[in-house]
Amino acid sequence: MHKHDIKQWIVPGILAASTIVKFSIGLGTYSGYATPPMHGDYEAQRHWMELTVHLPFREWYTYDLLYWGLDYPPLTAYVSWLCGLVAHWIDPSWVALDKSRGIETPESKVFMRTTVVGFDALVYVPALLLFIQTWQGSRSKRTQDLALLTLILQPALLLIDFGHFQYNSVMLGFTLLAMNFFAMGNDLVGAFFFVLSLGFKQMALYYAPAIGSYLIAKCLYLGPTEGTHHFIRLGVVTASTFILLFLPWLPPFASFSAILQPIRRIFPFARGLFEDKVANFWCASNVVFKWKAWASSNTLVKLSTLFTALGFLPAVAGLVRAGMTMSTGDSSAAAKKNDDAPPAAPQMTEKKEPTPFLPLLPYALLTSSMSFFLFSFQVHEKTILLPLLPMTLLLSGAPIDSAAYSWGVLVNNVAVFSMWPLLKRDGLGVQYIATLLLWNRLIGHDPLKLRPKSFVQLLSMAVYAAAIALHLAEVVISAPARYPDIYPVLNVLISTPVFFLAWLWSIKCGVEVGWAVSGIGHHAQPSARQTSSEDAGGVTHSGLRQSGGRAVSLGYKRKSQQPQQPVTIEMDGAASRERGDKN
Amino acid sequence: MAPEPEGVSASKTLNKSSSLSSLRSSSSSLFRDSWFYWHVLPSEWDIFWLSTALKLLLFPAYRSTDFEVHRNWLAITHSLPISKWYYDTTSEWTLDYPPFFAYFEKLMSIPASFIDPKIVDLNNLNYDAWSVIAYQRVTVILTELVLGAVLLKFIRGSVDPPMQRIISASIFLHPGFLIVDHIHFQYNGFMYGILLWSILLARNGNKLASGILFAILLNFKHIYMYLAPAYFIYLLRSFCLSPTGHILIKNFLSLANAVIAIFVVSLGPFAIMGQIPQLLSRLFPFTRGLNHAYWAPNFWALVTAADRVLLKYAQITGAKFAINESGVASSSRGLVGDTVFAVLPNIRPIHTFIITVVFQLIWLVKLWRSPSYKSFLTALTLSGWTSFLFGWHVHEKAVLLILIPLSLLSAERHAYFRTFIIASVAGVFSLFPLIFTPAESIIKVTYSALWITAVYLPLSRRVYEYPISILYVIMDTLEKVYLSGFPFLMLFVSVFPLARSRPSPGPSAMEFLPLMATSIYCAIGLVWSFMRLGYIYLQEETKYQGQLSEIK
């Protein structure tokens, strides 16, 4: 009984501890601290509170655009409005129209920081808890707790949201909620949340190819009749959510042309191929090949779009193929497909059953968002947070000796490293060290104890060595006058290959998991395939067979199969033993 | 972080299966006790690295004037000859710690001068560049390693290692250190490291070294004089006298010589220069009032509060008391200065001194009769506690003098555990007013709540005892009611300033109400748990035997 007492305190304890960490990071400086006249992202967010509180809807996207004009979709504006109202109630001077520009009083800073932690707690944290329940419901309690820690203290997101100052966790949280509802078989609610994610930050578009093709694959899987109905329902939910979000800019509330105001602001094609230094394909290759001199901006837009589309094509194709091959025409036949599941498990209603190709979704999200990050137009260094979400989700359930774990840790650490120039500018150097230390220690990763057993570990060693060498050089030697940007450029050159390889890895895993899930019930698995699928985050044939298409690295819970499968327990035990030592 | 249930239960069974004495004998081998032998478990490294990460994040946190105090001392010791250390008045934050601390600052000023020479510039007052913040914060984290090392040594060779591991972790992660050292800024982690080292040596039977370390500690920070009576009696009775009462002249002389030598090293240079009176006047400024700026939660806070209540009563009902007019305006302002009572008779330093001595004598007589390790530890705690409750001009930070030694007793029996919980909750809460900035306040409250939960859960199931009488049940309920009042007090303290500032901003008579409420409520808990521990101590040999009683 007492032991049980302690266990039930672990999750609240993790939440409290993570709150302490979030507020502690918030003690530091933020983007644009004490740099008038324009300041940075912090001032942009605060300014939006100011203008949404004091101006009518039709002026939100048009008011003084040169001073941090609103360029995020309406949900961000509504959230700013809400925050602005609270701020106005507490102290009107924090959001006084025009007069509050550049306000940096300690009280207003605490208020701003609290809003980020608050919305994080409202959206992202529940999404994580639900993720653990749905996607890792069959794992041991210990693995679940560790997964929660891994996700909630992910250093890159902590540093950007609570240090640099943004609300990315809200967008990511909505996407994660969408994933959770897909896993629960509730696609309509999932679609609704994904639209909210898009409506909060257009950056969620990076996920759109994966989410869209997952839903299309689901429709294909359900067969022509049921699939068409499902497609129409999804279309209605998506469209009506969008309409609701944009309502103030649509007739009859505004003129027909009003909708163009937010749209023009949200998609700024007038900007260049890339700004600053960002660890993607364009910026890295720019070292040897000056893209901007070679082609017009218009050509580059087209080229980058083409590259991006090619980049996420494997994910889309994988999902659609899975949907097609596994479809057996109509819903009753689809139900029969679950014959492989143990007879003890009672059949649930078809609608709530997760689709068998659900394990593909995280990989598809990773492929899609990473391809956007690497190849698309106008990418910011902070955008790496989008590929990091599926990457960390995959990492969170993976055993310590799996490839998913190694890649997850490496990409996470390199992502933080790739944002170093930004964090340094924000004055977040100590926070950079502290969050990396905290997270790596918690997940039981020691960069100094890597053994070159596999390619990814060898790569990790090389990358860490290069990163540390670069940091040391930056401290000791100041950048030569001829190359003032030498350190950011070197940073890009170290980080980009890692992201590129992670993108390739996600495609590889996608293909393998695709084979594994759609191979069920058709023919015996050749042994070669089994070994390769073990690589893919521990998806084993036997595990899949016994739990009916459950990817072990994630292990989402099927409602009909609450009792754990023997195989699952064994693997979880091994994972928690190994990771338990470190924790 | 969250305690590890598996580890605890596993080692508990281990403890049950092997007898206590065998554990002790195996660990007391030379090899295990050597200071060169370190076997740090992964979970212990976890605690170290995770807490270090948090401390790093607190670098930019609020800093009190103590930060500038210590920076100024770096400057004084670095740029002035030793003869001027205790005379310099360039800054208002003059050197008022004993010489060892000054030497310690001198040592730290050497790296500082290489990192940023402006840190040690005497005239560079209120310097707050990133270099000095990072440097001084780092020195706190590094010197706190002494505490960490000693706490590890406490686990090795303890009677009940799994329990001691929890206690050690709880001390290392104590919210008191987080608030006072890593936010407010002081070097308590280092100081308490020395104190615990001395206690550890006493536990291991090395009383001479224990005494020497305590003498060294006294020359770092003289507040540890609160504990000196217990040390004096303990060493005199158990080290300098044989159990039959004969003086052991060799022991006595070695201890006396060692202590004298330490004081000579510390004070010698200043004695030669004839600066002892000046030094003492810096160390003991008797010009201060009964209460500190914010009343420490002690007996006098209750007396002062009673005086306020009586005054209000007199003003409402028509005075029957002789009201001291100068007292009417005095202590409600809560500023540094003499506290003058309006109704009750005024308190002079001699009064506080007499009360302190009387209480101390009770514990010391008991200690004299049973000079065991556990008795010493309890007497030490009570000695500090008495001084804290009844002393003149006590600082709220001195509550750590109670909480840290008391932690070592917390897993002894349920009675000790209860005392520990009440004192810890009240004591840590009483430190909250030190940090008044909103962002840091969220951190201090959440951290403390997490800490007390993480300490309470594993310890409570270990020491649980079935209630034996109706009186016990009533007391238990009252204590629970008292403890559950803290969330409401927290709510009041945080909401009151907001509610008050809305209609009429500006100072008012009610300005200090949250501080007074905190002080009084915490004082109730600290006085009650003091009485609890005193009672337990006097009954110790008959009713409250525990595992520590095995250490002779």
Q: What are phi and psi of A483, to 5 degrees?
A: -120, 75
- The whole-number pLDDT of residue A4 equals 52
A145 → chain B, closest CA residue: B2
CA distance B417 to B463: 7
Asked if A3's CB is within 8 angstroms of B61's CB, the reply is no
Amino acid at B103: Y
CB atoms within 10 A of CB A550: 28
CB B405 within 8 A of CB B507: no
- DSSP code, position A400: T
Q: Exposed, middle or buried, A347 (CB in 10 Å: 0-12/13-18/19+)?
A: exposed
Q: Tell me the per-residue pLDDT of B117-174, one tens digit each, with 9 for 90 and over.
A: 888 888 888 888 899 999 999 999 999 999 999 999 999 888 888 899 999 999 999 9
Q: Taking CB atoms and an 8 Å limit, are B52 and A435 in contact across chains?
A: no
Count CB atoms within 10 A of the CB of residue A92.
13
Residues of chain A with pLDDT under 70: 1-4, 268-276, 328-353, 519-583
Q: How far is A5 from chain B (nearest CA, A)?
A: 8
Q: Give the pLDDT confidence score for residue A552 in this predicted structure.
A: 39
* Omega of the bond leading into A37 within 30 degrees of 0 (cis): yes
Burial class (CB in 10 A: 0-12, 13-18, 19+), B440: buried
Please name which of A504, A41, A508, A536 lies closest in space to residue A281, comparing C-alpha atoms.
A504
CB contact under 8 A, A107 and B438: yes
Predicted pLDDT at B294: 67
| Region B361-366 average pLDDT | 92
Partner residue facing A27 (CB), from B5, B42, B57: B57
Yes or no: say if A171 and A201 are a contact pair by the CB < 8 Å rule: yes
> Is the CB of B141 inside 8 Å of chain A's CB atoms?
no
Q: How far apart are CA A189 and CA A194, in angstroms?
A: 9
- Contacts (Cβ under 8 Å, ≥6 apart) of B537: B363, B366, B375, B378, B379, B382
> CA-CA distance, A519 to B213, in Å (whole number)?
72
- Residue of A15, A20, A426 to mutate, testing the B interface (most B Cβ within 10 Å of its Cβ): A20
Is the CA virtual torsion B504, B510, B512, B514 positive or negative? negative
Give yes or no for A514 touching B (CB within 8 A): no
User: What is residue B394's three-state secondary structure?
Assistant: strand
* Mean pLDDT lowest among A253-257, B247-251, B257-261: A253-257
Strand partners, B241: B247
Q: Chain A partners of B60 at a C-beta cutoff of 8 Å? A: 27-29, 430
Cα distance between residue A520 and residue A356, in whole Å: 9
Structure tokens at A285: 């290759």
Mean of pLDDT values over B104-128: 90
Helix ranges, B28-125 (H): 30-33, 42-57, 65-79, 99-115
Q: What is the pLDDT of residue B5?
A: 41
Kindly report the backbone phi and psi dihedral angles of residue B506, in degrees, each rounded to the nearest multiple of 5, phi listed first.
120, 165
Question: Exposed, middle or buried, B172 (CB in 10 Å: 0-12/13-18/19+)?
Answer: buried
* CB within 8 Å of chain A, chain B residues 229-288: none
Enclosing H/E stretch for B383: helix B373-390
Q: Does A448 touch chain B (CB under 8 A)?
A: no
CA angle B374, B375, B376 (to 5 degrees): 90
Burial class (CB within 10 angstroms; exposed 0-12, middle 13-18, buried 19+) of A71: middle
Among chain A residues, CA nearest to B460: A2
One-letter identity of residue B149: A
Distance in angstroms (rounded) separating the CA atoms of residues A411 and A405: 10
**For tokens 């779009």, what's the residue?**
A305
Q: How many angstroms separate the CA atoms of A375 and B524, rounded?
A: 66
Please determine, for residue B219, whether its predicted confidence score (pLDDT) is greater than 50. yes
Q: Does B456 touch chain A (CB under 8 A)?
A: no
Predicted confidence at residue A273, as pLDDT, reads 66
- The residue with tokens 């060498």 is A469
Distance (Å) of CA A234 to CA A192, A356, A391, B410: 9, 19, 27, 60
Partner-chain residue, chosen from B2, B45, B58, that has the shortest CB–CB distance to A27: B58
- The per-residue pLDDT for B501 is 59
User: What is d(CA B450, CA A348) in angstroms, rounded to the nearest whole number?
Assistant: 41
**pLDDT value at residue A538:** 37
Q: Which residues pair with A379 in a beta bridge?
A: A274
For chain B positions 486-505, those within 8 Å of chain A (CB to CB) are none
Partner-chain contact B446 A27, CB within 8 Å: no
Q: What is the DSSP letter of B549?
A: G
Name residue B247's beta-bridge partners. B241
* Pair B429, B486: CB distance under 8 Å: yes
Per-residue pLDDT reduced to its tens digit, B512-531: 788 888 999 999 999 999 99
Q: Which residues of B touch A109 (CB under 8 A)?
A: 439
Among residues B101, B61, B66, B55, the alpha carbon closest in space to that of B185 is found at: B66
B194, B198, B217, B261 from B212: Cα distances, Å: 11, 8, 9, 10
Contact B54 A29 (CB under 8 A): no
Touching check for B3 and chain A: CB below 8 Å? yes
More confident residue, B16 or A65: A65
Q: Residue with structure tokens 């590259």?
A: A307
Note the pLDDT of residue B334. 43
**CA dihedral sign, ordered A491, A497, A501, A503:** positive
